[in-house]
Structure formats: structure tokens, C-alpha cells
């Protein structure tokens, strides 16, 4: 009998990609747009203009997605990848204008087992 792993808030990961890319030339703008589109293709959601995030069911999945991003990096600019647990994400205080946004509990991605 196969043992099921429960979804622990300490195993579920959130992957953040934060970047500052040059957009001074047409070529740089095309690269920056291509990078943003590749993040969307990988299932990321835009949190802020240069901050994208993705829900991952495990640290292994987050590591795998991080490797895919490394192969899609544009030639210029700065890109940071941060991984945090679902528990840490739930504790994050998020605001839009003056209203607080409730963190966690609502994942737009569907996961099948």
C-alpha cells in the first residue's frame, strides 16, 4: 500500500522570482518581455511588476522550477530566486493600498494526486 504524504505547511513551498532587467534598447525590452512570459508559462503569478510567485507542493518541485528559470535568464540585469515555506508565506503581511490582503489558503493552481 502506497503511503500518502499530507500537505504540510512546512513542506509546501512558495517560489519568488524578483528581477531588475534593463529595458533601454529594443533588444533589452524584448528579452525582459520574453523572461516575464516564460515565468507565466511556468505557472507563476505576478505579485508586483518585477516580483512573480509560484506555489510548489514540495521543496523538490521548487528546486526543479528554479533550475528551469536558470536556463531562461536574460543576458543582462539581476534576478533573485527565493524559496519560503507555506507557513512563512501565511505569516507574511501583505497590503494593497491601505487594505490588508489575507495571505495563504487560496491557491489558484489545481493539484491532482
Does any domain span residue 3?
no
In a domain, 110, yes or no: no
The strand pair at 78-85 and 13-20 is best described as antiparallel
Structural domain for 72, as ranges? 13-101
Does 25 map to a domain?
yes
pLDDT at 32: 95
pLDDT at 6: 61
pLDDT at 113: 43
Q: Do the domain assignments include residue 59?
A: yes
Three-state secondary structure call for residue 74: coil
Q: Does residue 2 form part of some domain?
A: no
- Longest CA pairwise span in the chain (Å): 58
CA atoms within 13 A on the CB side of 39: 25
> What's the grid cell of residue 38?
516564460
Q: Does residue 91 sit within a domain? A: yes
For CA atoms 10, 72, 34, 97, give the dihedral sign: positive
Residues of the chain with pLDDT under 70: 1-10, 103-113
What is the reported pLDDT for 105?
Answer: 52
Domain count within the chain? 1
Q: Whole-structure pTM over 0.85, yes or no?
A: no
CATH code (residue 78): 3.30.70.240
Amino acid at each position: 500500500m502506497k503511503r500518502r504524504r499530507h500537505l504540510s505547511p512546512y513542506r509546501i513551498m512558495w517560489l519568488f522570482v524578483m528581477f531588475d532587467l534593463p529595458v533601454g534598447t529594443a533588444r533589452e525590452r524584448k528579452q525582459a518581455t520574453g523572461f516575464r512570459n516564460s515565468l507565466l508559462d511556468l505557472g507563476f503569478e505576478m505579485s508586483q511588476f518585477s516580483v512573480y510567485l509560484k506555489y510548489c507542493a514540495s521543496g523538490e518541485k521548487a528546486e526543479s522550477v528554479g533550475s528551469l528559470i536558470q536556463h531562461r535568464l536574460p543576458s543582462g540585469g539581476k534576478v533573485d530566486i527565493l524559496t519560503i515555506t507555506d507557513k512563512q508565506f501565511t505569516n507574511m503581511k501583505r497590503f494593497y493600498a491601505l487594505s490588508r490582503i489575507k495571505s495563504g489558503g487560496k491557491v489558484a493552481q489545481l493539484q491532482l494526486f
